Structure 1
Amino acid sequence: MSRPLRPLHGYTRRIVDDELDELLSGLSAVSLEGPKGVGKTATAQVRAGSTHRLDAPTELQLIQADPGRLLTGAEPILIDEWQHYPSSWDLVRRAVDDGPTPARFLLTGSASPTGAPTHTGAARIVPVRMRPLSLAERGMPPEVSLAELLTGDRPAVSGSTDIGLGDYVDEILAGGFPGLRGLPARALRAQLDGYLQRVIDREFPEQGMTLRHPDTLRAWLRAYAAATSTTASYEAIRDAATPGVGNKPAKSTTLPWRDVLTRLWLLDPVPAWLPTSNRFKELASTEKHQLADPALAARLLNVTADKLLAGDAVGPRIARGGTLLGALFEGLVALNLRVYAQAAEAEVRHLRTHRGEHEIDFIVAGSDGGVVALEVKLSATVHEDDLTHLNWLAAILGDDLRDAVLVNTGTHAYRRTDGIAVVPASLLGP
């Protein structure tokens, strides 16, 4: 049962709230992690008895002068943006050791600090990832539960939606940052531009990274955005960012950029699925590129709805199997799946054989070893060729394949006679 939350003006319950309720019923400290703007502070504040905001300079100075202040106040004590004072992690850990009662501390963080805490906090502070709003959290009522698909019971699949391709394009461009929802188009573009610029101007220096050529980093980010939903090498991304430039940034320069952006939770790549079973040979281990929200990728590439729907080629040249819109739509599905899978204690991966003969867009792996395989198609109709890789995987996994799903832009969810579920993206939920 969900615990009552403290009223907060404008707050709408998130999917991660259920996970937090369960964890805080037995754990003393939880750290809510994710990029800036996803709603971590609001979600934590509806539970907090007191709050210490370490991104406020005055409060940070008081804490630095008297660290014990962090442990005072009504519980749960929220330590917001704890990375601004990394020692807070160890203070909380020791407090939990001294008094491990439930729901004592909530920490939020928009970056991993450059100076790591002296102790990991394992078994004391449990991390919980928070991402931008899924489609279900944006007000699209889901009809098909990912958690039920993971059971292997092959539940009935039904439901209809009037969400069409244009609506998905609008959602890609609008993004899932709660504070930006509903903004006029120009204001939204300005906010996303400012978000990205702050990463370059402020977040990188705070991570101890001095940028001699900020424009080169922005070009690299644009190339990464163009590589959305691909497994392009980082060398290919670098080359796409600097076409015609003889003196390209060295690998020793660009890899730290990737590491910092990962610590800021801005990059959210999908890892490869590498099962221990010997039923597979030569699976590729390369991650599939995704930004935290496809709206960031779309803004970096300066695309509009008209350009996406027209299939216009924009941005750095990165080899991909389809259109940019298809890649961004897959990015939107990736965001949804990760929110829903986390609620089901499952993980999202992708599968690709070494030579690329077979690819599965997403593998949702449950804690019991069972998987749900999902292919994503930017189409309202289903063709037999769309199912080739799902059928290949079913023949190999047998009963370990709990379900197979084609996610598309259609209007109806149903299960085909061959057992494969067809689910419009807006109808899929936790």
Structure 2
Amino acid sequence: MNVNYLPRTVDALLDRYLAGLAAVALQGAKGVGKTATAKQRADHTIDLSRPAAAEAFRAAQDPLAEVSGTTLIDEWQREPSSWDHVKRAVDDGAPAGSFIIAGSSAPRGATVHTGAGRILTLRMRPQSLYERGMHAGGDTVSLRAMLGGDADVRGHTASDLVDYVEEILAGGFPGIRRVPEELRQEQLDSYLDATVSQEFAEQGTSVRRPATLRAWMTAYAAATATTATYTAILDAATPGLPDKPARSTTLVYRDVLSRAFLLDPLPSWTPSSNHLKRLTQTEKHFLADPALAARLLGATKDSLLAGEGSGPAVPRAGTLLGSLFEHLVAQSVLTYAQASRARVGHLRTQDTRHEVDLVVERDGHIVAFEVKLAATVTDADVKHLRWLREQIGDDLRDAAVIHTGPTAYRRTDGIAVIPAALLAP
């Protein structure tokens, strides 16, 4: 066990699953910390990124026959047969907590979510603001308590707009966060270059035009926190080019990046227990981390604070910084919601008159969030939350505006105002 390990929100959920299930697959983009988290619980590790270990695994008739305790199979996608070996071991009666499978690609044809089956899959995201320690040990506002309808909304933070911009650019990949600030851009460039040059090859997909793939990723980054169509993203990636890649090619880009957990789109929210209708069904675009989007777009602290750096011409309301701040908050809310086994979506009516940035639902209990790049909150900022409360009544257990200001409090209309740094699992 590593005494320097920084706790992650996913820890408690992983421990719960290992207590009752034989195998759990911990999956997520490269660099999010899967191996470190898994090793905290593993008695043995089979690292398939090491050629000798992979060769020995392939050569063995039953490579898992002699394992005991909790075995971590790391980088399983380097030897895809490892997935089937674990399945067979589970079928043969392996006890709870026998296997953790860690990898940065989803198995083809598998649905990546926590659910029934021989191997339960659990997604790990980059560090949330809470995991980064932005709350500085002070009062926080719990999403779990909000879902229960009994959140204590209070607290103060010294974090301001500049701090949030720095967090956007630093990202949530632990290894990149550890390097000196002046080297992070090079680290992010290397990460993105490896995505283009290696990720597709590892998944057996040939990229004929690497420059076009990079341009498509940049256009996707420009579409952060929007519902732009994939046609609009393609047009933004290849302006003025008569010989555009086929739509099927760009769908391959999307599918491979999704399997590598480098895209993290937010689905539209579909109510489970009320009569809200005429909602759009379009997902909202997010990469795995806002730092990747910022780097693809060449954004810097100065350019973001100056309102510059829009990137390719993808339709977007507001500034790039506003979109990246929403991404930062969404990434954290997705992590906190996972800890409460809740689902997250966004809401927009078909006539676009009403929209809510983030809707969290568990067992019919709903919490709604508006994300505002502002240090103060006005009545205009809560109008969509009020509208949603009118529509669904007591199903809405809580609602809040997430902002860049210093203080958490509850308005006289009951809507909470919470600094992003103080929202917690």
- The separation in 1 between residues aligned to 2:192 and 2:57, in whole angstroms, is 29
Matched, 1:83 2:77: yes
Deviation at 1:183, TM superposition (A): 2.1
Deviation at 1:91, TM superposition (A): 1.3
1:347 equivalent in structure 2: 343
Deviation at 1:417, TM superposition (A): 0.8
Deviation at 1:277, TM superposition (A): 4.6
**Equivalent residues in 2 for 1:116-155, closer than 5 Å:** 122-141=116-135, 143-153=140-150, 155=151
Which amino acid is the alignment partner of residue 316 of structure 2? Answer: R
**Equivalent residues in 2 for 1:37-56, closer than 5 Å:** 37-56=31-50
Matched, 1:428 2:423: yes
Q: Equivalent residue of 1:373, what SS?
A: strand
Deviation at 1:70, TM superposition (A): 3.5
Matched, 1:281 2:277: yes
- The separation in 2 between residues aligned to 1:336 and 1:115, in whole angstroms, is 28
8 Å CA contact 1:49, 1:73 repeated in 2:
no
8 Å CA contact 2:310, 2:319 repeated in 1:
no
Which amino acid is the alignment partner of residue 245 of structure 2? Answer: P
1:3 equivalent in structure 2: none
1:159 equivalent in structure 2: 155
Instruction: Return closer, same or farther for 1:71/1:230 CA change in 2, 3 Å cut-off.
Output: farther
Q: Equivalent residue of 1:70, what SS?
A: coil
Q: Per-residue displacement from partner, 1:2-33 (whole Å, max 9, x unpaired)? A: xxxxx215311111111111111111111101
Deviation at 1:229, TM superposition (A): 0.3
Unpaired runs of 5+ residues, structure 2, are none
Q: Equivalent residue of 2:369, what SS?
A: strand
2:226 equivalent in structure 1: 230
8 Å CA contact 1:86, 1:116 repeated in 2:
no
Which amino acid is the alignment partner of residue 146 of structure 2? Answer: L
Which amino acid is the alignment partner of residue 246 of structure 1? Answer: P
Runs of 4+ in 1 over 6 A off after TM superposition: none
Q: Equivalent residue of 2:392, what SS?
A: helix
Deviation at 1:290, TM superposition (A): 0.3
- The separation in 2 between residues aligned to 1:189 and 1:232, in whole angstroms, is 27
**Which of 370, 373, 393 is the matching residue for 1:378?**
373
- The separation in 2 between residues aligned to 1:54 and 1:182, in whole angstroms, is 25
Deviation at 1:278, TM superposition (A): 5.7
For these two proteins, the number of residue pairs brought into alignment is: 420
Deviation at 1:187, TM superposition (A): 1.3
2:391 equivalent in structure 1: 396
- Shifted more, 338-347 versus 178-187: the winner is 178-187
1:337 equivalent in structure 2: 333
Q: Per-residue displacement from partner, 1:109-137 (whole Å, max 9, x unpaired)? A: 100244879xx994321111100001111
Which amino acid is the alignment partner of residue 407 of structure 1? Answer: I
8 Å CA contact 1:261, 1:267 repeated in 2:
yes
8 Å CA contact 1:158, 1:414 repeated in 2:
yes
Instruction: Return closer, same or farther for 1:344/1:121 CA change in 2, 3 Å cut-off.
Output: closer
Instruction: Return closer, same or farther for 1:116/1:65 CA change in 2, 3 Å cut-off.
Output: farther
Q: Per-residue displacement from partner, 1:378-417 (whole Å, max 9, x unpaired)? A: 0000111111110110000000001011000010000111
8 Å CA contact 1:156, 1:415 repeated in 2:
no
Matched, 1:412 2:407: yes
8 Å CA contact 2:219, 2:312 repeated in 1:
yes
Deviation at 1:208, TM superposition (A): 1.4
- TM score, norm. by length of structure 1: 0.95
1:4 equivalent in structure 2: none
Deviation at 1:67, TM superposition (A): 4.8
- The separation in 1 between residues aligned to 2:294 and 2:61, in whole angstroms, is 42
- TM score, norm. by length of structure 2: 0.96
- The separation in 2 between residues aligned to 1:57 and 1:124, in whole angstroms, is 27
Deviation at 1:173, TM superposition (A): 0.1
Q: Per-residue displacement from partner, 1:262-294 (whole Å, max 9, x unpaired)? A: 000000000000124562221100000000000
- The separation in 1 between residues aligned to 2:149 and 2:353, in whole angstroms, is 27
Q: Per-residue displacement from partner, 1:57-107 (whole Å, max 9, x unpaired)? A: 221111111152234334201101111222212211221222242111110
- The separation in 2 between residues aligned to 1:22 and 1:95, in whole angstroms, is 20
Q: Equivalent residue of 1:73, what SS?
A: coil
**Which of 189, 199, 204 is the matching residue for 1:193?**
189
Matched, 1:109 2:103: yes
- Shifted more, 217-226 versus 82-91: the winner is 82-91
8 Å CA contact 1:84, 1:113 repeated in 2:
no
Unpaired runs of 5+ residues, structure 1, are 1-6
